[in-house]
Amino acid sequence: MAAATPLPISVSEYLHTSYRPDCDYVDGVVEERNLGELDHSELQRWLIRWCMAYELAWGVLVFPGIRVQVSGTRFRIADLCFVSRQAPREQVIQTPPVAVIEILSPEDRIPRYAERLEDYRRMGVENIWVVDPATRKGFDCSGGEWVETGVFDAGPVHLELNAIFAAIDEDRAR
Rg of the chain, C-alpha, whole Å: 16
pLDDT at 35: 64
Residue 28, in any domain of the structure:
no
Neighbours of 78 (CB within 10 A): 25
**pLDDT 10s digits, 23-33:** 888 888 888 87
Q: Report the CATH number that the domain containing residue 144 is assigned in CATH.
A: 3.90.1570.10
Checking if the pLDDT of 6 tops 70, the result is: no
Residue 14, in any domain of the structure:
no
Residue 141, in any domain of the structure:
yes
The total number of structural domains that make up the chain? 1
Residue 20, in any domain of the structure:
no
Q: Identify the domain containing residue 131 by its residue range.
A: 35-173
- Segment 53-59 shows an average pLDDT of 96
pTM of the full structure: 0.89
